[in-house]
Amino acid sequence: MKQILFIVNPNSVKKLRNRVEGAIGLGIDHNKYSVRIEYTRSAIHAANLSRDAVKDGVDIIAAVGGDGTVNEVASQMIDCNSILGIIPMGSGNGLARHLGIPRNIEKAVALINTQNISTIDTGSVNGKVFVSIAGVGFDALIAEKFSQGKQRGFLGYFRHVANEYLKYIPQEYKLTFSNGDVIKRKALFVAFANSNQFGYNTKIAPNAKIKDGLLDVCIIEKPAIFRIPLIANLLLLRLVDKSALVQIVKTKGVKVQRITNGIVNIDGEAINLDKELEIKINPLSLKIIINQNVSKV
């Protein structure tokens, strides 16, 4: 009998706790799987639970929460035999959307039962694992503001963007790519995309593939205020790479120099890191359950 551990962020499920437990109880085939549910109690508890489960040889470790919870759980599962499952309960759910994982709780649990397994790339920034998106600049600032605020969901993100955009000054970056190419640019932000989106179907890297051994480095200049609606539409239409303000470079790795130490967006969580950053791809390093109807990831 295979083992499944569900690692649940209680801040994500809140009033849906009974529904989550009910979906697991009814949706998992208990003739094939033994099931355990653990609720996190601190910021790093999900990572600790995941690390222990890997050591114990748990077959499937399912993250129940947002992109931050998924990151914590996945960070301990790199290049191991345990398989990641996702029950998306967060705000953006960027990785789940990219992989076609349903946001309906019951359907997401049923998907885990199917065990349609793929092996995908992961990335790292100065050794910190990310699965979906990392970045510096404005997106990292918004990740920090969002984590400090009380309002969740898209409106929470939008409020912080509206409050910070006009006063944000683009920063200087020097990017040295693995092939030796160098780009120096003042940018609103630079995103390092393994998947194609931040969440909410805002596709910052429309052509990103999560198992091609490459990162899509997205360099975004600051649009004038009157051009923001156009950029927003391009994000939603998977056409943002057509904008003259956007440059996307596919690479196996990149070194970034910025003026000072500061925050980095790691799968939606703001982390303080050095001014010099090394971003790498780790090809085919994470086993994960995905939607079998998604042909290209």
Task: For the chain, list residues with pLDDT below 50.
Answer: none
- Asked whether residue 137 falls in the same domain as residue 111, the answer is no
- Asked whether residue 142 falls in the same domain as residue 270, the answer is yes
- Asked whether residue 109 falls in the same domain as residue 137, the answer is no
| DSSP-derived pairing of the beta strands 262-266 and 133-137 | antiparallel
**Other CB atoms closer than 10 Å to residue 222's CB: what's the count?**
18
- Asked whether residue 135 falls in the same domain as residue 275, the answer is yes
Residue that terminates a domain, selected from 93, 115, 137: 115
Domain presence at residue 171: yes
Per-residue pLDDT at 297: 72
pLDDT tens digits, 48-60? 999 999 999 999 9
User: Token pair of 140, please?
Assistant: 């990292």
Q: Could you tell me the CATH number of the domain that includes residue 206?
A: 2.60.200.40
Tell me the residue range of the domain where 222 lies: 128-282
Domain presence at residue 71: yes
Domain presence at residue 216: yes
- Asked whether residue 271 falls in the same domain as residue 163, the answer is yes
- Asked whether residue 157 falls in the same domain as residue 224, the answer is yes
Residue at 71: amino acid letter: N
Residue that terminates a domain, selected from 115, 148, 176: 115
- Asked whether residue 96 falls in the same domain as residue 147, the answer is no
Domain presence at residue 107: yes
- Asked whether residue 150 falls in the same domain as residue 88, the answer is no
Domain presence at residue 45: yes
Sign of CA dihedral 137, 143, 149, 151: positive
Domain presence at residue 42: yes
* Number of structural domains found in the chain: 2
- Asked whether residue 167 falls in the same domain as residue 234, the answer is yes
- Asked whether residue 173 falls in the same domain as residue 265, the answer is yes
User: Token pair of 219, please?
Assistant: 């360099």
Residue that terminates a domain, selected from 92, 115, 138: 115
| Exposed/middle/buried for residue 69 (C-beta within 10 Å: 0-12, 13-18, 19+) | buried
Per-residue pLDDT at 202: 81
- Asked whether residue 188 falls in the same domain as residue 245, the answer is yes
- Asked whether residue 269 falls in the same domain as residue 139, the answer is yes
Per-residue pLDDT at 152: 63
Domain presence at residue 237: yes
User: Token pair of 124, please?
Assistant: 């790292």
Per-residue pLDDT at 258: 96
pLDDT tens digits, 103-128? 999 999 999 988 889 999 999 999 99
Q: Could you tell me the CATH number of the domain that includes residue 49?
A: 3.40.50.10330
Per-residue pLDDT at 154: 61
Domain presence at residue 289: no
